[in-house]
Amino acid sequence: MKPVTMKPVTFMIASSALMGFVTGWICGNPTASSNVHQSQGDAEIALSRTVAGFWSLSQPIMPVDVLGFLDIPEKYTHIKLDIGLSVNAPNSALWLDKLRLPGRFVIGIEPNAKSLQRLESGLNNLPNEEAVCPQKICDSSDPLYKILREKNAPDYWALNAASHVGKDWYGVRAAVDDGQPRFQDIYIAGPGLQGTDSLLNAKAGVGLNMIAKTAVPIIRLSDIFDRIDFDRFQFVEHLKIDAQGMDGRILRSAKHYLKERVVYVTIELSAQQYIGAGEVNVDDYLRSQGFEHLGGESYVNARLKASLDPLVFDSLDGSDAKT
């Protein structure tokens, strides 16, 4: 397999008229997406124009090789999944910028086009300016920036876009849920509430102001796992999920891969400010799949821990940005 330069996510769509609809939203292109109708009815009509839905196994969700597997350059030996990025992808920044472990490749998934566009633009990495940097400290020359990074304060981490996007980090613009792939509205939170968008509406009186709805493609984690060459990658090293009340359903969408192929999980355990949150109890579900609680929001796959060569297991990274 030859190393490739990653390009924005694209999809093979049966209808050329629908191509602009999907490509605009997936790539976070404001011009292309401005004409998209935001009702559930329009999303269902758009989906009906595809052949078997654009998330079927015949449709690539990232660049693929001749065998249909994700075309990840050969120098990468470990895969991590970062679900729910907000505007700065703090977990991805931890893995790739702070720890700098060799051979790691991260797939990030984020439904909000503006958040993903900002993350990939490099604006987070410019000198400190409040209008540009909602995290307040983005200037790496500021002494406080260094202190905060060293104290593991994830709110101040932002993935270094120039160093990683399209190299060892790849972004997919979608939401994740179990059930069938589809288009569905996501609730968009108001200014200053980055990272709180959700497929679930917020409860009244909890301080979350949802100001808009936008149709997004919905995928399952199993759709990603189906495309990983597990003859090459024995497992997914770390799965992090922070999805505003949808976390348990996202775990369930991984199907058999969760217990068979995931070593570490870091996940939001409760988000009760959303209507319908907690349908799947995260702790119960992970334990039912053979995971042991490590403390905080982190778990380890007990079967893989026991079956892997101790030297291999000890070389793995279970670090997360929440402890």
Per DSSP, helices labelled H in the chain are 16-26, 30-33, 40-48, 90-93, 113-121, 143-150, 161-164, 221-225, 247-253, 257-261, 282-288, 302-307, 310-314
AA letter at 112: N
C-alpha dihedral over 162, 167, 171, 172, to 10 degrees? 150
Residue 149, domain member (yes or no)? no
* pLDDT for residue 108: 95
Residue 184, domain member (yes or no)? yes
CA distance 226 to 292: 25
CA distance 21 to 46: 8
Element (H, E) at 268: none
Range 60-70 average pLDDT: 79
Structural tokens at position 249: 């359903």
* pLDDT for residue 321: 40
Query: Residues 311-322: pLDDT tens digits?
Result: 888 888 887 644
Q: Locate tokens 């505007």: which residue?
A: 87
Residue 217, domain member (yes or no)? yes
Contact (CB, 8 A) for 33 and 42: no
Residue 2, domain member (yes or no)? no
Q: Residue 13 to residues 16, 54, 82, 182, 245: CA-CA distances in angstroms?
A: 7, 6, 26, 13, 31
Query: Residues 207-236: pLDDT tens digits?
Result: 888 899 988 889 999 999 999 999 999 999
CA distance 249 to 258: 12
User: Domain range for residue 289?
Assistant: 16-126+159-314
State whether the Cα torsion 160-323-235-70 is positive or negative. negative
- Smallest CA-to-CA distance from 170 within 41, 80, 42 is with 80
What mean pLDDT, rounded, does the chain reach?
75
CA distance 195 to 212: 14
Domain count, the chain: 1
Paired with 137 in beta bridges are none
- The CATH number of residue 102's host domain is 3.40.50.150
Range 3-17 average pLDDT: 31
Residue 1, domain member (yes or no)? no
Range 38-45 average pLDDT: 46
- Is the pLDDT reported for residue 254 higher than 50? yes
Residue 267, domain member (yes or no)? yes
Residue 146, domain member (yes or no)? no
- Is the pLDDT reported for residue 41 higher than 90? no
Residue 150, domain member (yes or no)? no
Most confident of 4-8, 194-198, 262-266: 262-266
Report residue 75: phi and psi, to 5°. -70, -10
* Strands (DSSP E) found in the chain: 78-83, 104-109, 169-172, 175-176, 182-189, 210-219, 236-241, 262-267, 291-295, 298-301
Range 42-52 average pLDDT: 40
Angle at which helices 16-26 and 40-48 cross, to 10°: 130
Range 135-157 average pLDDT: 52
The three-class DSSP label of residue 214 is strand
Paired with 219 in beta bridges are 176
